[in-house]
Amino acid sequence: MATKFALEKLFVKMSDGKEFIFWFDGNGKITVGNGSFGQPAANAFSLVQVQDCPFATQTCKSACYVHLLEKAEQEVHAAYQHNSRDIRKVLEKSLYRKTTELAFADWIRGNCPAGFRWHVSGDIFSLRYSRFIRAVCDSAPEVFFWIYTRSFRYLEPLVGAENLVVNLSADRDNWQQALQTCHRFGFRLCYLTVEGEVPPDLPLDSVIFPSHELRGRYLSNPRQAPWWQSLTPRERRMVCPPDFFGQSESLRCGRCKKCF
């Protein structure tokens, strides 16, 4: 089954009459308990790939799945572009920011109480935006949030958020910085491998995301994939099941707890 996408609109009206529109997206992989693989619910807020990823590496730029989404799901990607513009406008004024934080929290509680992901596409682009994310999480304490980020410089506001799981996105280009940040904050490491390499000092609770060329989902027996055969038992336990084996109702975020 092809991955399906969901898209929902939020209107935020300010006290001065100014109105902003934000789009929430979702897909069969990340919908967790808010929907199903075949009928996903919108439970993410996304921006633009690369442009909104200030610490993107050459490796992640070359392997970014959003490049394909931009072509295949033009309406969804247009929503990302719109979000990128409007969130910056909102962050410029404290009153706009506070109103939007509360509007986000209300929408998330009512529409995706089982879990919310920050950024199917894009990343934390500023310290002010990081504070915005923390404020939304704090305003919806009963909701589980998760995020993948390379913006290690902007993580201070997220430390100690009890309902937010921060996953550090790493690859061969930023590995040492990611490992240092992991040791500093205790956040989980999520490693993208394009050529098959896996760092020997990857912490035990890490997650490995293989690039498309390494996955076994297209084989009748995925475990026969050459890359899988090259891994140790310890490393195999770290591999993202939906990415490697293929996505379905039983193989999606929410069923798999590796990142949570």
| Token code pair at residue 110 | 């009512």
| Token code pair at residue 165 | 């799981």
Does some domain include residue 220?
no
Does some domain include residue 37?
yes
Neighbours of 230 (CB within 10 A): 11
Does some domain include residue 61?
yes
Does some domain include residue 183?
yes
Query: Given this model, what pLDDT does residue 69 score?
Result: 87
Does some domain include residue 180?
yes
User: Taking a C-beta distance cutoff of 8 angstroms, is the pair 194, 63 a contact?
Assistant: yes
Count of structural domains, the chain = 1
Mean local confidence (pLDDT), 37-55: 97
Residues 33, 4, 250, 23: is their CA dihedral positive or negative? negative
| Strand partners for 9 | 23
Q: Residue 166's domain spans which residues? A: 5-191
Does some domain include residue 19?
yes
Does some domain include residue 22?
yes
Gap between the Cα atoms of 40 and 24, Å rounded: 12
SS (H, E, C) 124-162: CCCHHHHHHHHHHHHHCCCCCEEEEECCHHHCHHHCCCC
Give phi and psi for 193, each to the nearest 5.
-115, 125
Q: State pLDDT tens for residues 83-142.
A: 999 999 999 999 999 999 999 999 999 999 999 999 999 999 999 999 999 999 999 999
pLDDT band at 257 (very low <50, low <70, confident <90, very high): confident
Question: What is the pTM (predicted TM-score) of this model?
Answer: 0.96
Does some domain include residue 166?
yes
| Mean pLDDT, the chain, integer | 96
User: Taking a C-beta distance cutoff of 8 angstroms, is the pair 6, 117 a contact?
Assistant: no
